[in-house]
Structure 1
Amino acid sequence: MKRIVYISLALFTFFLRAQAQNHKNVYLFAYFKGNGEDGLHLAYSTDAYNWTTLKNDQSFLAPTVSKDKLMRDPCIIRGADGLFHMVWTVSWKDKGIGYASSKDLINWSEQQFLPVMAKEEGARNTWAPEITYDRQTKTYMIYWATTITGKFNETASKAESGYNHRLYYVTTKDFKTFSETKLLYDPGFNVIDATIVKNGKQFIMFLKDETPQPAQKNIKMAYADQLTGPYSKAGNPITGNYWAEGPTTLKTGNSWMVYFDKYRDHQYGAVQSADLKTWTDVSDKISLPKGLRHGTILTIKTKELNTLLKQ
């Protein structure tokens, strides 16, 4: 009986590898589960709709930095140096973020704590960091959401522990030296969970309007000609009558997909558009691993997937 099971598992793994070989694009979803205690989880897809866990949904990297040792909201990009660079939320209340790099998404460098908000005495948190690379300036921008006590009082609220976020950033060319922290985006409301992608000559920011009263809790878009801004006024929501957060996006052909966590409904959602103006809800067409919390999507090579499938 055991031999039959082993053969079946081998055949299943062979089928997955053969299936991946037939596709030029392989998409990788980096995410966390629970509160982020066990670290980095990965899933892949060849069609952007159906996602399969890797390593039986076990963690690829356990968090080691900050007092809380969490690894929430992982963001991984492939750098111009060929390395994979990752940042993540280390704590609900810390003044910095986590950083590590890898050649293969399996073996990671020593984890570092980047104290990006340490100079702000009133900073309460550093949430959902992401990285975007600007090929023109050969610079990486790391950005995140922070509430600083006493700032932006025009949108202050006592709801939800009084959090009142804006987006901040640092830049780096080598992940060794970093610029001073600066304000990236003040849209005139409480904002978190930004992700920025290049489209032609423009940069598009997908963001969450975190306004608690009256509740918004939706995904909107803003544009800029330069990665560091200034960004335009946020547009109308692209998500529907539900609470959404943690947007991440990919483009397949001429179609844009934006995935997000329907966190009150304990499920994932997605919207699709060909022109970035008209959006169609395709939540019923996607299939993601159970318990997946938000993270980011990147494209990897078939040979890289084959290596991950062996784990």
Structure 2
Amino acid sequence: MMKKLLFLSIFLISALFNAQAQKKQDVYLFAYFKNNGEDGLHLAYSRDGYKWATLKNDQSFLTPTVSNDKLMRDPCIIRGADGLFHMVWTVSWKDKGIGYASSRDLVNWSKQQFIPVMAKEAGARNTWAPEITYDDQTKTYLIYWATTIEGKFPETAAKEENGYNHRMYYVTTKDFKTFSDTKLLYDPGFNAIDASIVKDGGKFIMFLKDETRNPVQKNLKIAYSDKLEGPYGKASAPITGKYWAEGPTTLKIGEDWLVYFDKYTEHKYGAITSTDLKNWTDISDKIALPKGLRHGTIIKIKEKELSKLLKQ
């Protein structure tokens, strides 16, 4: 009798543990674009961070309306301290601003806005791949992107690739209504794009692309800062391989860091993993992503939020 009671107790505890684990299982959402970004926002989800499935049959959730080009490339979504989802994106290859919209459920979005973050820079040629990172200490959002300003940073100027020579710039906001003046965020000493900043403990980690064409780099690197607005230290050695990589977005699952990126010349996605941000293992053969996915960002969402997305 005692053995039966003990077995039953173990069974019930195990069932309760499994139910709680299932209830607390994370859901990951990948916001991305396809082709040139002309049809808007695409979403996919995953429960393990490796295998991804499209939502809404890979149809757009939001059609772009701002700027002359009306593109929605490089979408970045974060969950704000106000409970809203805030999104920024690249509206054009050559415009001097970015797109912005917010949502409570990732289905219904606010009116799209154009934020002219580089309008005061006469020589600004572009505003690419904006992202948002929130600082819970200062309760401030940092919006940052890559821009080439004609005549700036001549030490890394080159004629290749239309003479683009990017650095990272930023504005801050607390409410997405008023914004600070635009400032330089990071000059790593090379042509850099596609920064993505995450907080880990008391440090901020910037993943970014070294865009140098000659001698060729086209890889991802890391820089660190004690403050979100910097200064960021010297960029690390490359963390990606001999292929060309861009558009990093990160996940941390337990002690494992996962960095997803676009192997854009090979028209496929790659991923690497690490426990210490120094030693990296390529896991590109272990991931599965929707066909035609171009880079964006990954966030965690709740089960009820996924349920609503699955009904679309």
> Normalized against structure 1, the TM-score is what?
0.93
| 2:266 alignment partner AA | D
Note the 1:57-206 alignment, pairs <5 A: 57-206=58-207
Q: Please report the RMSD computed on the Cα atoms of aligned residues, expressed in angstroms.
A: 1.2
Equivalent-residue separation in structure 1 for 2:237 and 2:101 (angstroms): 35
Equivalent-residue separation in structure 1 for 2:304 and 2:86 (angstroms): 19
Pairwise CA distance, 1:229: 0.1
User: Paired residue for 1:30?
Assistant: 31
> Which whole-Å deviations, capped at 9, do the CAs of 1:114-171 have from their partners, x for residues lacking one?
0000000000000000000000000000000000000000000000000000000000
Q: Are 2:284 and 1:286 aligned?
A: no
> Which whole-Å deviations, capped at 9, do the CAs of 1:151-193 have from their partners, x for residues lacking one?
0000000000000000000000000000000000000000000
Pairwise CA distance, 1:22: 5.6
> Per the alignment, in what secondary structure is the counterpart of residue 170 of structure 1?
strand
User: Paired residue for 2:266?
Assistant: 265
Equivalent-residue separation in structure 2 for 1:124 and 1:275 (angstroms): 37
> Which whole-Å deviations, capped at 9, do the CAs of 1:262-292 have from their partners, x for residues lacking one?
0000000000001111000000000000000
Equivalent-residue separation in structure 2 for 1:23 and 1:276 (angstroms): 26
> What percentage of residue pairs aligned between the two structures are identical?
79
Equivalent-residue separation in structure 2 for 1:198 and 1:97 (angstroms): 23
Q: Structure 1: which 5+ residue stretches go unaligned? A: 1-19
Q: How many residues align?
A: 293
Runs of 4+ in 1 over 4 A off after TM superposition: 20-23
Q: Structure 2: which 5+ residue stretches go unaligned? A: 1-20
Equivalent-residue separation in structure 2 for 1:29 and 1:152 (angstroms): 34
Equivalent-residue separation in structure 2 for 1:70 and 1:23 (angstroms): 36
User: Paired residue for 2:42?
Assistant: 41
| 2:139 alignment partner AA | K
User: Paired residue for 1:16?
Assistant: none
| 1:147 alignment partner AA | T
Pairwise CA distance, 1:21: 6.1
| 1:146 alignment partner AA | T
> Per the alignment, in what secondary structure is the counterpart of residue 309 of structure 2?
helix
Equivalent-residue separation in structure 2 for 1:298 and 1:22 (angstroms): 18
> Per the alignment, in what secondary structure is the counterpart of residue 306 of structure 1?
helix
Equivalent-residue separation in structure 2 for 1:278 and 1:25 (angstroms): 25
Equivalent-residue separation in structure 2 for 1:278 and 1:263 (angstroms): 23
Pairwise CA distance, 1:23: 5.6
Which structure would you say has the larger Rg?
Answer: 2
| 2:217 alignment partner AA | Q
Pairwise CA distance, 1:24: 1.8
> Which whole-Å deviations, capped at 9, do the CAs of 1:28-57 have from their partners, x for residues lacking one?
000000000000000000000000000000
Contact 1:23 1:46 in 2 (8 A): no
